[in-house]
Amino acid sequence: MSGEAKHVAGISLGVMATGFVATLPFPDVAVAKFLQGGFEAGLVGGLADWFAVTALFRHPMGIPIPHTALLPKNRKRITDALVHTLENDWLNKESIEEKIKQIRITEKVLTLLEKEVESPQVRSALVSISEQVVQQIDIEPVLPVIESKLKEYIKSINTAGLLHGFIDKALGEQYEEKAFDFLLGKVSDWAVRSDTRHKLGSMALQALENIELDGFMQFALKSFAGMLNEDKLGGVLQTLLLRGSDDLRRPENKNRQVFLAYVRREIEEARESEGLLATFEKWKYNLAEEVQLHERLSDIAEDLRKQALEFIRNDAYLDDFALPFLRRLIQKVRANEEMMVRFEAWLQRQIAVLVEQNHSKIGKLVRENLDKLDNETLIEMMEDKIGKDIQWIRVNGAVCGFLIGLVLVTIKSFIL
Q: Is the pLDDT of residue 224 over 60?
A: no
257 and 178 in a common domain:
yes
User: For residue 1, what pLDDT is reported?
Assistant: 40
Q: Distance between CA 291 and CA 154 in Å, rounded?
A: 11
Predicted confidence (pLDDT) per residue in 79-103, tens digit: 777 666 766 666 666 776 677 777 7
Q: Is the pLDDT of residue 111 over 60?
A: yes
Predicted confidence (pLDDT) per residue in 49-60, tens digit: 776 766 666 666
55 and 7 in a common domain:
yes
| pLDDT confidence bin for 216, thresholds 50/70/90 | very low
57 and 20 in a common domain:
yes
Q: Is residue 288 part of a domain?
A: no
Task: Mark which of 272, 291, 306 sits at the end of a domain.
Answer: 272
| pLDDT confidence bin for 306, thresholds 50/70/90 | very high
Q: Is residue 316 part of a domain?
A: no
Q: Distance between CA 37 and CA 19 in Å, rounded?
A: 10
Predicted confidence (pLDDT) per residue in 31-51, tens digit: 877 777 777 777 777 777 776
Residue 183 corresponds to which amino acid?
L
Q: Is the pLDDT of residue 313 over 80?
A: yes
User: For residue 241, what pLDDT is reported?
Assistant: 82
Mutual orientation of helices 323-335 and 120-136 as an angle, nearest 10°?
A: 100
How many distinct structural domains can be found in the chain? 3
Question: Is this structure's pTM higher than 0.75?
Answer: no
| pLDDT confidence bin for 388, thresholds 50/70/90 | low
267 and 209 in a common domain:
yes
Q: Is the pLDDT of residue 75 over 80?
A: no
Q: Distance between CA 293 and CA 142 in Å, rounded?
A: 13
User: For residue 71, what pLDDT is reported?
Assistant: 66
CA-derived radius of gyration, the chain: 55
Query: Which of 249, 125, 111 shows the shortest CA–CA distance to 181?
Result: 249
| pLDDT confidence bin for 126, thresholds 50/70/90 | confident
Domain carrying residue 67: 2-84+373-415
Q: Is the pLDDT of residue 384 over 70?
A: no
